[in-house]
Amino acid sequence: MVFSSSIFIFIFLPLVIFLYYLCDKKVRNYILLLASLVFYACGGISYLKILLVSILINYIFGVLIDSLDIKENSSNNKRKFNKLKKTCLAIGVFLNLGLLFYYKYYDFFLENLNMVLGSNIQFKNIVLPIGISFFTFQGMSYIIDIYRKDAKVNRNLFSVALYISLFPQLVAGPIVKYKSVDKEIRKREESVGEFSYGISRFVIGLAKKVIIADVLGGVADEVFILVNTSGIDIITAWLGAICYSLQIYFDFSGYSDMAIGIGHFFGFKFIENFNYPYISKSITEFWRRWHISLSTWFKEYLYIPLGGNRTGNVYFNLFIVFLVTGLWHGASWNFVIWGLWHGLFIIMERFARDKEWYKNIPSGIKAFSTLFIVLIGWVLFKADNLSTAMKYLSTMFGLISFNNITFEVSYFIQVKTMFLIVVGIIFSTPILKIVVSKYKEKRYFETVKNILIILLFIIALIFMINSTYSPFIYFQF
């Protein structure tokens, strides 16, 4: 079940909202937990047990770490309990990563092992459970935050289960750190204003997904398929890369908008996950604006523990972070190369940032070069494998050409496509935000905004009903 489906919008979500507000506040968390488990089961009931195992692991180790912390504070032998506490954390993190490794990387590991050793170990062909990368990282956040004393342990198993499985952000984020939502799980206040904001945010996200992302995604899919069949020309290759760049932004930011909006329905305020990444003037800035919840997770739980900027080799630390970032996105070498591609430029920027020549580069050139680097990276991200990615990039830069091209660029340049590319480029910038802030204090603003939201919802529904099934890109992670 996806947010942009009729069954979710007209049946599941209204039913959950109705039951939530019908019940007493004391049982509302249980309503949300039940709804979250049903939501996840709809994507594959056989994998519900994996989510439940993840919940149980993190609950048990959270309690163990807290219990050892209490004993440490009251004991004369603090070193002993501190060591036990670290051991519990290490085991808890290992079990989380073990779960993730088995279901996401086991076959990839065997494939590469066979290639290196010349062996023929049989694959298990494990189907990736939806959202495992997201709920695993949230589980680790829970036990790490307790270990660091950034949050209090929650001895209510159902509350921990709700945090890890909360359906708005369960399968594609944003990744919510436990310390940022602990108080809201224990006690929160809902309001008409927050609910109204949630509706607006949900509708905007839905429109991003079904109007822009799905239409441009259809073009990108066709172009990327053709590179391995009848071939494409240079202009078509660039068109496909641009369409995919806009698709993945509006697809993922649209999901995040919907998740944040749904959170507001129930009194949760999730962090922003995107902040106009395509206006960045460096790759470093891009990662402060793109998938913010993931980049901050890696910063807090990997980069800083490695030594960050202060200890060790900062370039090595950045290399490790972006190697893991690539792997997090998928068990494939093109994801690894994509992560290292971004890491390479971040390391270069880190090295050059204090140099006078770097400071003197015009901001326009920095913005254009950043967008160019990101766009090349998206080809690596989109392609089915590294071979296809290299073939596509070679076509983009005229290094290879095809003789009998079935579909030239004129086939893809339709009025709707070009219009949505222009719309996508405009809404990738904060132009609308600037216009809204200018008129926000006007008396008629709320009325006009509500009318536009209703119209946008109707248009989005028309697109949704007329389109074919299109799951969110980040569901696969």
Is 151 in the same domain as 209?
no
Is 243 in the same domain as 164?
no
Give me the domain span that covers residue 446. 194-476
Q: What is the pLDDT of residue 471?
A: 67
138, 173, 188 - which closes a domain: 188
Is 259 in the same domain as 226?
yes
Is 94 in the same domain as 230?
no
Q: How far is residue 149's CA from residue 144's CA, in Å, rounded to a whole number?
A: 8
On whether the CB atoms of residues 321 and 303 are closer than 8 A, the answer is yes
- Establish if 52 belongs to a structural domain: yes
Q: How far is residue 55's CA from residue 50's CA, in Å, rounded to a whole number?
A: 9
Q: How far is residue 81's CA from residue 396's CA, in Å, rounded to a whole number?
A: 59
| Closest among 256, 261, 267 to 185, alpha carbons compared | 267
Residues whose CB is less than 8 angstroms from the CB of residue 178 and which lie 6 or more positions away in sequence, other chains included: 138, 141, 142, 145, 146, 151, 163
| Closest among 273, 276, 269, 292 to 198, alpha carbons compared | 269
On whether the CB atoms of residues 99 and 53 are closer than 8 A, the answer is yes
Q: How far is residue 170's CA from residue 166's CA, in Å, rounded to a whole number?
A: 6
Is 316 in the same domain as 415?
yes
- Establish if 1 belongs to a structural domain: no
So which residues are the catalytic ones?
329
Is 90 in the same domain as 230?
no
Is 141 in the same domain as 213?
no
Is 378 in the same domain as 308?
yes
Number of folded domains that form the chain: 2
Is 152 in the same domain as 122?
yes
Is 179 in the same domain as 149?
yes
188, 216, 237 - which closes a domain: 188
- Establish if 141 belongs to a structural domain: yes
188, 210, 233 - which closes a domain: 188
Instruction: State the first-to-last Cα distance of the chain, in angstroms, to the nearest integer.
Output: 16
pLDDT one digit per residue (tens) for the chain, 477 residues: 788 888 999 999 999 999 999 998 899 999 999 999 999 998 888 889 999 999 999 999 999 999 988 877 777 777 777 888 999 999 999 999 999 999 999 888 888 888 888 888 877 777 888 889 999 999 999 999 999 998 899 999 999 999 999 999 888 778 988 888 888 998 888 899 999 999 999 999 999 999 999 999 999 999 999 988 888 889 999 999 999 999 999 999 999 999 999 999 999 999 899 999 999 999 999 999 999 999 999 999 999 998 887 776 889 999 999 999 999 998 889 999 999 999 999 999 999 988 889 889 999 999 999 999 999 999 999 998 899 999 999 999 988 888 777 777 777 888 889 999 999 999 999 998 888 888 888 888 888 889 999 999 999 999 988 877 666 777 666
Is 131 in the same domain as 222?
no
Q: How far is residue 218's CA from residue 196's CA, in Å, rounded to a whole number?
A: 32
